[in-house]
Amino acid sequence: MKCPQLRLRSGFTLIELLVVIAIIAILIGLLLPAVQKVREAAARAKCSNNLKQLGIALHAYHDANGAFPVGQYNGYTGTATLWNRACWVQGILPYVEQGPLYSNFDVMKTSSALVATKKDTIVPPLVCPSDPNSPKTNTVDKNHTSTAAGLTGLLEVQGLHTNYVACAGSTSWSAANAANLNGMFYVQSMTRITDVTDGTTNTLMLGEILVSPDTTVNDMRGRYSNAWDGNNWFSTAYPPNTTVSDVQSYQGVSIPFAPVTTSTPGPSILSSRSRHTGGVNTALGDGSVRFVSNSVDPTAYLNAGTRAGGEIPGSL
């Protein structure tokens, strides 16, 4: 008589299953930081490429016009005859493959960039992929209305806010000095390469800022189609990603990594900020791009903001 054979069924015990799950969880935990680092490296490289494009565009503008574009057309106490409420961004649009958008603003050159249509168009080289609040296009200023001819109802939508701003020098700015700052860009500036006597390789031209989320409060930082408070400039008075608050003479929105206070009347100042680990991307006057650490020597960084300060160049 044959004994029946027992069939053994293979499988996992509960303990084995829990061990496998724990191992998988550990591997995922080890992998996620690596993935995040890869993503940030790619975003930082894209940001660097954006600044490179903008630097080339600024030099192309210089070649065509004999000077870099005006930092800001209107002053603090009045309007400009041409390109009122415009800044350096409009002039370089044809050189970043935005000819139609430039034409859209160009028809407003005798009126105001403020009232131009399509100002919420996203211009990729002006947007840093590491900033979670970019692209910012739809901020509505419900606290500011106008009855001026042609402006009624058009002051509200402020348009694209850029992550890249021009270097105005190493100081704050106000109505008293905004037309005579020590950087490459300021009110009615028409800086030539020959004016940068500190050397274009030693002088900062562009830097990064962070923008606030779209809200019903109008934070001007980065706003380029309604520029009147130096909101498309930065200063080297403080190192990158400083904890010192930015200052505007009009309303603002403080956010993590980019605090702001309002001083009316009073001087304004913006510092370079980013969400890149450890520093910010910058473009120098020769069009080259460099990553500047938060721990940069403050004096070297301060001096890099001036175009003709005569300082001994430091290491950025």
Of 133, 135, 124, 131, give the one whose Cα is nearest residue 40.
131
Burial of 263 (0-12, 13-18, 19+ CB in 10 A): middle
Give the Cα separation of 207 and 289 in Å (integer): 10
The predicted pLDDT at position 5 comes to: 58
Rounded average pLDDT over 116-145: 84
Q: Of 91, 108, 89, which is closest to residue 154 (Cα–Cα)?
A: 108
Cα 176 from chain centroid? 25
* Arithmetic mean of pLDDT, 217-241: 92
pLDDT in tens, 278-311: 999 999 999 999 999 999 999 999 999 999 999 9
Per residue in 207-218, pLDDT (tens digit) is 999 999 887 677
**Tens-place pLDDT, residues 44-85:** 999 999 999 999 999 999 999 999 999 999 987 678 888 999
Distance between CA atoms of 72 and 152, rounded to whole angstroms?
23
The pLDDT of residue 270 is above 90: yes
Give me the phi and psi of 193, to 5 degrees please.
Answer: -55, -40
State the chain's mean pLDDT as an integer.
87
Q: Can you give the pLDDT at residue 9?
A: 56
Rounded distance between C-alpha atoms, residue 31 and residue 309, angstroms: 48
Q: Which of 211, 213, 207 is nearest to 221 (CA)?
A: 211
Task: Please state, in angstroms and rounded to a whole number, the distance separating the CA atoms of residues 314 and 66.
Answer: 29
**154, 117 Cβ separation under 8 angstroms:** no
pLDDT at 3 over 60: no
pLDDT band for position 155 (cuts 50, 70, 90): very low
Mean pLDDT of 81-106: 93
pTM across the whole model: 0.85
H or E stretch at 247: strand 246-248
Residue in the block written with tokens 């192309």: 60
pLDDT at 143: 52
List the domain boundaries for the chain: 39-305
